[in-house]
């Protein structure tokens, strides 16, 4: 009996020892480690842009607007240096207010920001104004070089609106309006009448400028094409008849006599455009001077229009260049007074009756005259 009781005590003691060993075993093999999340779906695919700095964040938003994208997913690098929530808000504000393109076409930039333990993800949504051209239709220029060709093409094609983003430009909105007028007046056959112009200016940092140039012709697209075709026919027919003259002075005189014989000068006429002068046969001084520019151009005679006054009233006439010298020509009064009083005149011949901004036009006073054409 004693022997059986002793065996039971030994078994109980052994059981307690084994229980203690189990506890020690458990404590020795428990390992604690930082939680590393599994790769998130799409975190490494091409639809998500990796961002590692504030400058990269801003550039990504600018690239998004330049491409006309409405949504992008961003993944912030785990080593991103900065406060991601604060930088996200700041970047959206700076892009909207300090970039000319964004100020022009972006209505709002919204985003959803999520923290995935060790990094952030964001979905950015851009809302664009429905009143502006698509991003692909906005022209980008580094400098104003080439701007004149862009405007000329727009007028030739009868465009109603042109948006140009220039990285470095000093043009004001008024400067741009004057530039459009000058370009048209140098080659008025581009449109049957000078388009009305209004310019909206959007500024970015430094000298970045975006110009929204609005053009108004007062005609439908089909009317523009029809009238341009009519003007082209008149100019080509005239050039075919007068182009045989080999002397440039004679060609300039032929253009003057043709216009004086085919167009009636109406001092207070309602129609005053190159189209009314060439096709309809009546125009004011501006329309006749614009027509003379193109008639001379068709015969390779350099000619420009002058905006000034005659007898203190707003008035237009021309300056032609012959053999390196410049001369005044007044097409509107040629029919009434004859070419001897309106062709190859110098500054001294006309000053007083005519007045103009002498700094804007070349001095006239060559040796030629109607009585001595050289």
pLDDT one-digit tens code per residue, 292-312: 999 999 999 999 999 999 999
The pLDDT score that the predictor gives to residue 67 is 86
The span from the CA of 111 to the CA of 96, in Å, is 14
DSSP state of 172: -
105, 62 contact by CB (below 8 A): no
Total domains present in the chain: 3
Residue 159 inside a domain? The answer is: yes
Helix (H) or strand (E) holding 222: helix 221-242
* Residue 133 pLDDT: 65
Same domain? 211 vs 228: no
- Domain range holding 95? 48-128
Q: What is the pLDDT of residue 355?
A: 97
Question: For residue range 328-349, what is the model confidence (pLDDT) as tens digits?
Answer: 999 999 999 999 999 999 999 9
Distance between first and last Cα of the chain: 156
The DSSP element (H or E) to which 213 belongs, if any, is: strand 209-216
Predicted model pTM: 0.80
The full DSSP string for 22-72 is: HHHHHHHT-------PPPPTTTTSTTEEEE-SHHHHHHHHHHHHHTT-SEE
Q: Are 344 and 329 in contact (CB under 8 A)?
A: yes
Query: Of 245, 257, 311, which is closest to residue 288 (Cα–Cα)?
Result: 257
**Are residues 237 and 145 located together in one domain of the fold?**
no
Q: What pLDDT, on a 0 to 100 scale, did the predictor assign at position 130?
A: 78
Residue at 369 is within a domain: no
* pLDDT of res. 37: 34
Asked if 204 and 180 touch (Cβ cutoff 8 Å), the reply is no
Contact yes or no for 347/364 (Cβ under 8 A): yes
Residue 226 and residue 155 share a domain: no
Alpha carbons within 13 A on the beta-carbon side of 50: 9
Asked if 182 and 287 sit in the same domain, the reply is no
Tokens standing for residue 190: 């581009």
CATH assignment of the domain containing 179: 3.30.110
Tell me which of 65, 93, 128 is where a domain ends. Answer: 128
Q: Calculate the alpha carbon distances from 196 to 95, 100, 152, 202, 265 in Å.
A: 33, 24, 14, 20, 23
Residue 42 is assigned to a structural domain of this protein: no
pLDDT (0 to 100) of residue 66: 87
User: Residue 329 maps to which CATH number?
Assistant: 3.10.620.30
Inter-CA distances, 244 with 251, 254, 373, Å: 9, 11, 18
Residues 310 and 296 both lie in one domain: yes
| Pairing mode, strands 71-76 and 119-128 | antiparallel
Last residue of a domain, one of 73, 105, 128: 128
pLDDT at position 305 is 98
106 and 143 in one domain? no
* Ranges of the chain with pLDDT below 70: 1-46, 131-136, 269, 373-374
Is residue 327 in some structural domain? yes
Q: CA 106, CA 71: separation in Å to the nearest integer?
A: 13
Classify residue 310: in a domain, yes or no.
yes
Question: Of the residues 128, 148, 169, which one is the last residue of a structural domain?
Answer: 128
272 shares a domain with 344:
yes
> What is the C-alpha separation between 208 and 195, in angstroms, rounded?
26
């Amino acid at each position: 009996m004693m022997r059986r009781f002793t065996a039971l005590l030994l078994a109980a003691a052994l059981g307690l020892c084994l229980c203690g060993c189990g506890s020690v075993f458990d404590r020795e093999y428990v390992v604690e480690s930082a939680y590393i999340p599994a790769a998130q779906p799409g975190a490494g695919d091409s639809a998500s842009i990796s961002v590692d700095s504030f400058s990269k964040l801003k550039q990504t938003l600018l690239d998004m607007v330049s491409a006309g994208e409405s949504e992008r997913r961003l993944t912030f690098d785990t080593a991103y240096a900065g406060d991601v929530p604060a930088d996200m808000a700041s970047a959206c504000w700076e892009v909207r207010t300090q970039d000319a393109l964004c100020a022009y076409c972006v209505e709002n930039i919204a985003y959803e920001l999520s923290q995935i333990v060790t990094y952030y993800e964001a979905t950015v949504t851009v809302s664009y104004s429905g009143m502006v051209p698509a991003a692909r239709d906005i022209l980008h220029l580094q400098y104003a070089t080439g701007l004149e060709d862009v405007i000329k093409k727009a007028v030739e094609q009868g465009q109603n609106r042109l948006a140009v983003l220039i990285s470095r430009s000093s043009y004001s909105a008024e400067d741009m309006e004057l530039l459009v007028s000058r370009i048209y007046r140098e080659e008025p056959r581009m449109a049957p009448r000078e388009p009305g112009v209004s310019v909206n200016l959007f500024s970015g940092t430094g000298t970045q400028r975006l110009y929204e140039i609005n053009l108004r012709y007062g005609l439908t697209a089909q009317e523009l094409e029809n009238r341009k075709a009519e003007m082209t026919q008149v100019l080509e027919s005239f050039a075919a008849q007068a182009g045989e003259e080999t002397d440039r002075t004679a060609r300039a005189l032929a253009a003057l006599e043709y216009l004086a014989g085919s167009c009636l000068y109406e001092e207070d006429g309602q129609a005053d455009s190159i189209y009314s002068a060439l096709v309809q046969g009546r125009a004011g001084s501006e329309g006749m001077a614009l027509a003379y520019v193109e008639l001379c151009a068709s015969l390779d005679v350099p000619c420009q229009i002058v905006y000034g006054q005659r007898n203190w009233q707003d008035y237009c006439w021309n300056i032609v260049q012959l053999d390196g010298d410049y001369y005044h020509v007044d097409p509107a009064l040629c029919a009434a007074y004859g070419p001897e009083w309106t062709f190859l005149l110098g500054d001294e011949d006309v000053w007083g009756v005519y007045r103009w901004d002498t700094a804007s036009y070349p001095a006239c006073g060559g040796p030629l005259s109607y009585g001595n054409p050289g």
